[in-house]
Amino acid sequence: MEIFQQILFSAALAVTIWYIVKRIKLIARAINLGRPENRFDHADERLKTMLLVAFGQKKMFTNLLVGVMHFVIYAGFIIINLEILEIILDGILGTHRLFAPYITPAYPVLIDVFEVLAFGVLVVCVVFLCRRFITKVPRFQQERHREMTRWPRTDAAIILTAEILLMIAFLTWNASDSVLRDRGVGHYGELRGIVPDFLISQFLKPLFTNFSDTSLIAYERIAWWLHILGILVFAIYVTYSKHLHIALGFPNVYFSDLQPKGEMQNMPEITKEVQLALGLPVTTEDDGSQANDNGDQPAEVGRFGAKDVQDLKWINLMNAYSCTECGRCTAACPANITGKKLSPRKIMMDTRDRLEEIQQGWKVNGNEYRDDKSLLNDYITAEELNACTTCQACVNACPININPLDIILQLRRYRVMEESQAPASWNAMFSNIENNMAPWKFSPSDRFNWADQVNEVK
């Protein structure tokens, strides 16, 4: 029986690892569709930003209570799963609490810490479920935000419920295991005197006092299997979920833009053309952004801005996969607040949906998959793009430094420069900037006439 369990567990672990690796390769390939951009500079500054924003959850603490709860559920779930190492080794080797005899003084302390965090995660998950479906926080409701369809809301409910069940399995497993140690049953009794009762699960022991030894062993094994298999299934599911940010949040913050938030990047192609037209030495270098060397739907040579995901930068695509769909960007967006259709969260969700569609095409039609769709128009409309005021509110609000504005600007540049679809008021502004060096239709020589009028009033 023990050998069968070892074989079954090893097979489940191998399948999980194979599936996750396969999924990671597919996501990495999708991200590599984007244009290259160097985000490996200033490693020390990037590391500091990652520690403060990704692990320290710095931007979450604008709301102290929510920040503390999110830290508990995020850090707690990661730290609790350190125990997976022991569980995996127990499953492969057929042992029980393998580390306990070797780190006797520290082992109970570690499990106590894990249990406190598990209880914290359980409580916070219940609170978050209530916030979504009972108190109904506005940024999660479809009535206000059309991108919050059934699937995003169901996805959140699945993850939160799964975490609650995993924590219950963990705590009741420890409780039933403690009762078996107290009774001296089989190999459980061998740890009596070595492993004491744990901090939280000791209060659950009365639930099992009327269980027979056979029933108790059965429950302990079921709870153990539910906990570890639940984690393995959870690990696979996360690669399809918005909770992929659990893994991508750290690299996404590390590679985030270090430039001042209000600084917009010039297009090297345009800068080069202007320099050539003015007879100036060309100072821009070809960064390869107009080519894609991975063989997957290369961007068109000479395209200005972005029409589809392969025209965006790779960091934009990583942003899309890292999005938590928390809606803080949309809640901060003044265009959205005033009733415009623009939702920065939808921009990120649409970008990820487009990438997922391309992935499905690869699976069905092979590497040469093409379709007639594009991110612009088929997913994101001109009305949404034109509503953006480039105020940076969405960028500042994101807890993991995602930049929806960068995608908006690249799509908008394509509409203006490739399709000549700028609104008439924009064209007038462009003309004034070109001729008068200001958005207003005044000659530069008349620019300070208002000052003379002020002096006359005095």
Task: Please write the tens of the pLDDT for every residue from 270-298.
Answer: 888 778 887 888 876 554 444 444 445 44
374-424 confidence digits (pLDDT tens): 999 999 999 999 999 999 999 999 999 999 999 999 999 999 989 988 888
Per the CB < 8 A criterion, the answer to whether 345 and 145 are in contact is yes
Q: What is the pLDDT of residue 295?
A: 46
Q: What is the pLDDT of residue 10?
A: 95
More confident residue, 455 or 221: 221
Show the CA angle centred on residue 133, arms to residues 131 and 135, nearest 5°.
50
Q: Which CATH number fits domain 293-422: 1.20.58, 3.30.420, 1.10.1060, 2.20.28?
A: 1.10.1060
Q: Using alpha carbons, select from 175, 164, 141 the residue that is nearest to residue 325.
A: 141
Q: Which two tokens stand for residue 43?
A: 């490693």
Length of the chain: 458
Q: What pLDDT shows up at residue 441? A: 81
Per-residue pLDDT, averaged over 46-72, amounts to 89
Q: What is the pLDDT of residue 450?
A: 75
Query: Rounded to an integer, what distance in angstroms lies between the CA atom of residue 271 and that of residue 283?
Result: 9
Spatial CB neighbours of 189, under 8 Å, sequence gap ≥ 6: 180, 181, 183
Tell me the C-alpha distance between 412 and 425, whole Å.
15
Q: Are 72 and 118 in contact (CB under 8 A)?
A: no
Residue 110 pLDDT exceeds 80: yes
Lowest mean pLDDT among 16-20, 131-135, 258-262, 380-384: 258-262
Q: Give the burial string for 433-457 (b: 16+ CB within 10 Å, else e).
A: eeebeeeeeeeeeeeeeeeeeeeee
Q: Between vectors from CA 33 to CA 265 and to CA 308, what angle results, nearest 5°?
A: 65
Nearest to 355 by CA among 316, 406, 327: 316
CA distance 175 to 220: 9
pLDDT, position 302: 60
User: Considering only 225-229, 418-422, 424-428, 444-448, which range has the smallest mean pLDDT?
Assistant: 444-448
Choose among 320, 319, 309: nearest CA to 374: 309
pLDDT grade for 312, boundaries at 50, 70 and 90: very high
C-alpha distance from residue 150 to each of 38, 77, 158, 346 (Å): 38, 26, 12, 14
Average pLDDT along the chain: 89
The arithmetic mean of pLDDT across residues 359-375, rounded, is: 85
Q: Which residues pair with 318 in a beta bridge?
A: none
Provide Rg for the chain, Cα atoms: 28
User: Which of 186, 45, 191, 43 has the alpha carbon at shortest distance from 107?
Assistant: 191
Domain ranges of the chain: 2-31+63-254, 293-422, 423-458
> Would you state the pLDDT for residue 285?
56
Q: How far apart are CA 422 and CA 61, in angstroms?
A: 39
| Joined tokens for residue 405 | 């504005």
**C-alpha span between 49 and 61 (Å, rounded):** 15
What share of the chain has pLDDT > 70, as a percent?
Answer: 95
Does 299 score more than 50 pLDDT?
A: no
Confidence of residue 457 (pLDDT cuts 50, 70, 90): low
Amino acid at 7: I
Question: What would the DSSP string read from start to end of 292-303?
Answer: -TTSSSPPPTT-
Which range among 4-18, 70-84, 344-358 shows the weakest confidence by mean pLDDT?
Answer: 70-84
The answer on pLDDT for 76 being more than 60 is yes
How far is the C-alpha of 413 from the C-alpha of 417, rounded, in Å? Answer: 6
Residue 111 or 287, more confident: 111
DSSP letter string, 206-249? GGGTTS-HHHHHHHHHHHHHHHHHHHHHHHHHHTTSGGGHHHHH
Residue that wins the pLDDT comparison between 447 and 249:
249
Q: SS in 3 state form for 348-401? A: HHHHHHHHHHHHHHHHHHCCCCCCCCCHHHHCECHHHHHCCCCCCHHHHHCCCC
Tokens of 90: 């127990």
* pLDDT in the model for residue 292: 47
Better pLDDT: 285 or 96: 96
CA–CA distance, 86 with 95 (Å, rounded to integer): 10
Quickly state the pLDDT bin for 301 (edges 50, 70, 90): very low
Q: What is the spatial distance between Cα 111 and Cα 223, in angstroms, rounded to a whole number?
A: 16
Per-residue pLDDT at 265: 81
